[in-house]
Amino acid sequence: GYVKLVVSQNVDGLHLRSGLPRQALAELHGNIFMEKCEKCGKEYFREFDVGGMSFQPTGRMCEVARCGGRLLDQILDWEDALPEDQLCRAEDELRTADVSMCLGTSLRIKPASDLPLLALRKDKATGKESGTMVICNLQSTPKDRRAAIKARTS
């Protein structure tokens, strides 16, 4: 396929419910339906809001044999740093992407707002910029001047 990674700031779990494979998704702000074992790292995608915020215990335990670790919610609070594993995946993929598509975002909150720019690289030999950024949003964004394509709808 053409889409290698979806980088999302949404916490509603809709990307996974749409059928997008977990390995093709970086959730920068977490997921209200996700719990993760603090010991073994196993993730549990639930049919219900797991409650909590800021990576706190949910009261449930890991079901992996001989683990029994506490499950933690996977929602960022304002003072929490972005999850390093998710941010690094996004940065790595965008540095080699041919196109970054920004869909329904104001591109105003850093560091996430700067991620799409990683797809725009200068060729060391020619000095020309390669990679393309596309922005589809209702309003203008601070990154519009760098986008090859801007789509607005009302």
Enumerate the known binding-site residues.
Answer: 37, 40, 62, 67
Tell which residue, 41, 26, 32, 39, has the closest CA to residue 11. 32
Report the binding-site residues for Zn(2+).
Answer: 37, 40, 62, 67
E-strand ranges in the chain read 6-8, 25-27, 30-37, 43-45, 57-61, 70-75, 99-103, 121-122, 129-130, 132-136, 149-151
Which residues are designated catalytic?
29
Q: How many helices (H) and strands (E) does the chain have?
A: 2, 11
